[in-house]
Amino acid sequence: MKSITQLEKEFQARIDRDEKIEPKDWMPEAYRKTLIRQISQHAHSEVVGMLPEGNWITRAPSLRRKVALLAKIQDEGGHGLYLYSATETLGISRDELVEQLHAGRAKYSSIFNYPALTWADMGSIGYLVDGAAIVNQVALTRTSYGPYARAMVRICKEESFHQRQGYEILLTLCRGTEAQKQMAQESLNRWWWPALMMFGPHDKDSPHTAQSMKWKIKRKTNDELRQYFVDMTVPQAKVLGLTIPDPDLKWNEERGHYDFGEINWDEFWKVVKGHGRCNKERLDTRRKVSEEGAWVRDAAVAYAEKKAA
């Protein structure tokens, strides 16, 4: 029988050869735990992430906007389901994962603890939040765990539609009246910094990055992805005629990248630890809809059991 050290060596060699790890393959316990943590956090983010936009379905300014927003939000729910399924391949049940979320033991992205206050926020969420999600997730299509990588391919295709619909909302507002343009600018001002926070702490302060890079769970570090996002987003804001709310933002010819200001890390950790503006409201809503929808799940299980009998 092979020793754990030997198995670990062979496992790392497979990763180094860029082989995908599949559910029934041997894997170190810490690799499995890291994946459960990251993929379930990602799944919870998709599901909680439906709430800020869901708040605007009844107030969309036209039928066309309502249909697009509704479709986008449904897509996010679908992403949550693919990701819960991918997590279940690691030997944990969806019920347990949802329980962790409802009990406040599992994290979800900080961004969804900010309120959506105006219609322009539907534009900013698509443009910036889905934009940041794509940058992060395109890298994850090459993650070492097969089921996660395959879920990411499909999710990225849908996220790019989401980003476009958000950008187009802002473009329409920016080409509209002065008041509409101001609404777009005010919204960008509120969402810019929280969007940068989505990439997580600086690499030097990130407890998980080094090991996750070694296992190729992460293919780019938090700071690399954040820089890529800034470089991609700033020219798009120029087309909109909007100003990024960062006095330190400027093109650095030598680096070939934009320099940008420091994130307010106190605010970031406050939100991550549950004390943001909407943390309580988001979790209360998830718990409530879960209780109210229990009869649907019970009925589906009863039907499936009856059919199988």
Give the residue among 26, 43, 27 at the shortest CA–CA distance from 97: 43
- Select the span of 87-95, 167-175, 207-215, 236-244 touching ligand FAQ (CB under 6 A): 207-215
* Binding of residue 76 to ligand FAQ (CB under 6 A): yes
Residue 122 and residue 69 in contact, taking contact as beta carbons nearer than 8 Å: yes
Residue with tokens 């997730």: 137
Q: Tell me if 282 sits within 8 A of 113, measured CB to CB.
A: yes
User: Which residue blocks in the chain are alpha helix, DSSP H?
Assistant: 4-16, 29-48, 50-54, 63-88, 94-102, 120-124, 131-140, 146-174, 178-197, 209-214, 222-240, 265-272, 279-292, 294-308
Q: For residue 158, state whether it binds ligand FAQ (rule: CB under 6 A).
A: no
Residue 219, both tokens: 């293919």
Q: Footprint of ligand FAQ on residues 38-57 (CB under 6 A)?
A: 38, 41-42, 45-46, 49
Size of the site for ligand FAQ (CB under 6 A): 28
Of 226, 229, 270, the closest CA to residue 113 belongs to 270
Q: Which of residues 17-36 bind ligand FAQ (CB under 6 A)?
A: none
What minimum distance in Å lies between the beta carbon of 135 and ligand FAQ? Answer: 10
What is 134-166 written as a DSSP string? HHHHHHHTT-SBHHHHHHHHHHHHHHHHHHHHH
The interface mask with ligand FAQ, positions 107-146, x = CB under 6 A, is: x-xx--------------x---xx--x--x----------
- Interaction pattern, residues 255-284, with ligand FAQ; x per rule: CB under 6 A: -----------------x------------
Using rule CB under 6 A, residue 207 touches ligand FAQ: yes
Q: Is the separation of the CB atoms in 284 and 269 below 8 Å?
A: no
Closer to ligand FAQ by CB, 27 or 132: give it: 132
Shortest distance (Å) from residue 307 CB to ligand FAQ? 33
One residue of 222, 227, 233, 279 binding ligand FAQ per CB under 6 A? 222
159 vs 237 by CB, closer to ligand FAQ: 159
C-beta separation of 73 from 86 below 8 A: no
Tell me the three state secondary structure of residue 244: coil
Residue 206 found at the interface with ligand FAQ (CB under 6 A): yes
* Per-residue tokens: 63: 């039928």
Which is nearer to ligand FAQ, 7 or 94 (by Cβ)?
A: 94
Question: What residues make contact with ligand FAQ under the rule CB under 6 A?
Answer: 37-38, 41-42, 45-46, 49, 76, 107, 109-110, 125, 129-130, 133, 136, 197-201, 206-209, 212, 222, 272
